[in-house]
A and B are shown apart, each in its own frame.
Chain A
Amino acid sequence: MPEITEQIKNDVKDIVVDFFSEECEVEPDTITMNTHIFDDLDGDSLMFLELIEIFKKKYNLNIDLKTIGKYSVKHPVRTIGELIDMQLLIIEHEDNIINLD
């Protein structure tokens, strides 16, 4: 279970912003923590799944997609900031994310 350092926080933010910038063809500096993934960027589930896979590979995460789905039911992700927060929790807790409040 890795400790979430400032470096990891910055890396996750950069990966998320770069990913949506490329996929949605928007300038990175227009994406903020409050940017709505679906309403503002026209993001979709395919992008969401691809991003999960990117993080699974980068951090060698042991997490089931079903677990992420169950977590998302309780904690809906709508903005870039919420997505980054969820991703940091996944990196820190992996499959145990479901046991968090």
Chain B
Amino acid sequence: MIVGCGIDTEELSRFDKHLADVENSGFVKLVFTEREIENYKSNFGQFIPLGFCCKEAVFKAVGDSWTTSPVHWQDIELLFKSVSQSTYEIKISGHAKKILERLGNPTIVSEFNMSPESVTFHVILINE
């Protein structure tokens, strides 16, 4: 049974101002964990928008956001296992984990599409 669904799209150009000096960007430090920033080092230009888009999609899938509940941006981490983006995992912690527990610990099914202009992330929460 599907218990949640979230989609988010972001224009890549909106992140340009944060990519000039990622490791000193206040915005990046607000949203991403140190583990994510380290993980994204090989390609900040793609991974930062993807990570942001993923977090937004998960917020929408669980039906809560950082301004409507104690869930935090850093409760949701998108970590790539390869530079090619072909494999990744979404790690959930903190209040987001509690929300998922309330939903019956659903499996997170996700995919993303990236064009030269934008990125779209789809997240579906499925209980077996």
Contact = CB atoms under 8 A, between A and B. Distances in A.
B67 A73 contact: yes
B67 A65 contact: no
B30 A49 contact: yes
B27 A69 contact: no
Q: How large is the interface on A (under 10, 10 to 19, 20 to 34, 35 or more residues)?
A: 10 to 19
A46 B66 contact: no
Contacts of A46: 10, 14, 52
Contacts of A77: 67
A66 B70 contact: yes
A57 B17 CA distance: 15
Contact of B65 (A45, A52, A57): A45
Nearest to B18: A50
Nearest to B15: A46
Contacts of A49: 27, 30-31
Interface of A: 45-46, 48-50, 52-53, 56-57, 65-66, 69-70, 72-73, 76-77
Interface residues of B, number: 17
Interface of B: 10, 14, 26-27, 30-31, 52, 56, 65-73
Given A45-B67, A46-B14, A66-B72, 13 more contacts: A45-B65, A48-B67, A49-B27, A49-B31, A52-B30, A53-B26, A53-B30, A69-B72, A72-B67, A72-B68, A73-B68, A76-B67, A76-B68
Contacts of B52: 46
Contacts of B65: 45
B26 A65 contact: no
B27 to A, nearest CB: 5
Contacts of A50: 27
Contacts of A52: 30
